[in-house]
Structure 1
Amino acid sequence: MPEIVTLRGRTLRLEPLAERHVEALARAAAEDRGSYAFTPVPCGVEATERYVADALAARAAGRALPFATVRVADGRVVGSTRFCELDYWQGPVPWPPAPRGPLGPVRTAIPDAAEIGGTWLSSCAQGTGINTEAKLLMLRHAFETWGVRRVSMRADARNLRSRTAIERLGATLDGVHRAHSRGLDGMVRSTAFYSILDEEWPRVREQLEQRVGAARPKATGTRSLVPA
């Protein structure tokens, strides 16, 4: 699996997800859940334990790299996000093409493409710029440390809030898979797929750095956060 790292920003840090985060994650998820209609967010300590255990199993298999999102201002866990669908292109070309795990040792593998997903924030952290800075940290790690060729993101086609957030990152809509899977509400959902390519990263990075910079506290010491 890729090296387990902590990604540090101005307003947050992304800590490797661990069992010690369970109770704090459960508290974060217990706030106003009105924005989670299309997002799988655990409810209660028992569900959060399963959530963390599943994420750690995916990490051990080299398929994901999950994080707890921690707000720097007060050290509070305010959500989670992860790299997932890690794809490794070394070795013979598979047919039909499909994401696959590393062919060599899992602990030293570096992905060639990745997806950012499983992202959710507690209601108190939404609209504060944390999501934008988290994506900047993750995209920078993917493109500049791993050297991936593509980072993908997806959303339920009905989830206009998430789709707008993804588009504001600078991602390109690759298309909508109609009747793609069953949604959290039990209805058949279509899924919107987005991507950022390595040659697009410099432009996207500049835009994100400008947005994150615009959210910096004023020199007087008062906080002035631009919603993201």
Structure 2
Amino acid sequence: MPVPVFLCGRTVRLEPLTERHIEALAAAAAEDRSSYAFTPVPHGIEATERYVSDALAAQAAGRALPFATVRASDGLVVGSTRFTELDYWQGPVIWPPAPRGPVGDPLSAIPDATEIGGTWLSTRAQGTGINTEAKLLMLRHAFETWGVRRVSMRADARNMRSRAAIEHLGAVLEGVHRNHTRGLDGMVRGTAFYSILDEEWPAVRSGLEQRVAAGPRTHHVAESRPLISA
């Protein structure tokens, strides 16, 4: 499974998620929560402890690589994000296709495809450009360090702000799975699935680099709410 890494940019630093982030994450999540209707965000210390424990268990099982999102200017933890649905294509072809773990040494394996999800930001970090640079860092790592063939993203089909923001990153809508699962509100929801392919990455990277260089005013509309929800 991929080794935890620090991904550092101008406005944001993505740190491997650990138990030491619990109190800071709980404080970030305790700000105005009105924008979390479609996004699973822990509330309170106990819920944040479970949130981090579950994320680290998924990492230990080789299913995820979670991060704490840290504002570079002052080291304040402002949210979380992760690589998830790590998929490995080495070894014999299996049928029907399904996500599979690494073949061989899991500590040296790198995925062929992944998903970015579980993303949320505190109210004060929304609309500041942090999310755009964080996505640039993660996508760059996935495509240029791991060499993945695709990165997927998804959102509750009702969450038009998240969907618009994902599309603004340069991801392509693959379709909506209707009546796909239950939402946080208990209602049966559809899920919109997006992807970026390796051959699309150079154009996506160029657009994201231009937005990051231009500063936060170009991000304000797209980042005014949490950007990705599973």
TM (norm. structure 2) is: 0.94
2:46 match: secondary structure: helix
Whole-Å separation in 2 of the counterparts to 1:178 and 1:96: 22
User: For the Cα contact (< 8 Å) 1:129–1:226, is it kept in 2?
Assistant: yes
- Partner of residue 33, structure 2: 33
The number of equivalent residue pairs is 221
Equivalent position amino acid for 1:43 in 2:
H
User: For the Cα contact (< 8 Å) 1:25–1:79, is it kept in 2?
Assistant: yes
1:128 is aligned to 2:123: no
Q: Deviations over 1:139-177 (max 9, x none)?
A: 000000000000000000001111011000000000000
User: For the Cα contact (< 8 Å) 1:61–1:106, is it kept in 2?
Assistant: no
Whole-Å separation in 2 of the counterparts to 1:82 and 1:137: 12
User: For the Cα contact (< 8 Å) 2:26–2:48, is it kept in 1?
Assistant: yes
- Partner of residue 100, structure 2: 100
Equivalent position amino acid for 2:133 in 1:
E
1:176 is aligned to 2:176: yes
Q: CA deviation at 1:226?
A: 4.9
Poorly superposed stretches of 4+, deviation over 2 Å = 224-228
User: For the Cα contact (< 8 Å) 1:42–1:48, is it kept in 2?
Assistant: yes
Equivalent position amino acid for 1:32 in 2:
D
Residue pairs, 1:4-83, within 5 angstroms: 4-83=4-83
Q: CA deviation at 1:103?
A: 2.4
User: For the Cα contact (< 8 Å) 2:211–2:218, is it kept in 1?
Assistant: no
Q: Deviations over 1:67-113 (max 9, x none)?
A: 00000111100000000000000111121111111122221110000
- Partner of residue 148, structure 2: 148
User: For the Cα contact (< 8 Å) 1:214–1:226, is it kept in 2?
Assistant: no
- Partner of residue 162, structure 2: 162
2:77 match: secondary structure: strand
Equivalent position amino acid for 1:63 in 2:
R
Identical aligned pairs, as a percentage? Answer: 80
Q: CA deviation at 1:18?
A: 0.2
Whole-Å separation in 2 of the counterparts to 1:58 and 1:131: 23
Question: RMSD across aligned C-alpha pairs, in angstroms?
Answer: 1.1
1:137 is aligned to 2:111: no
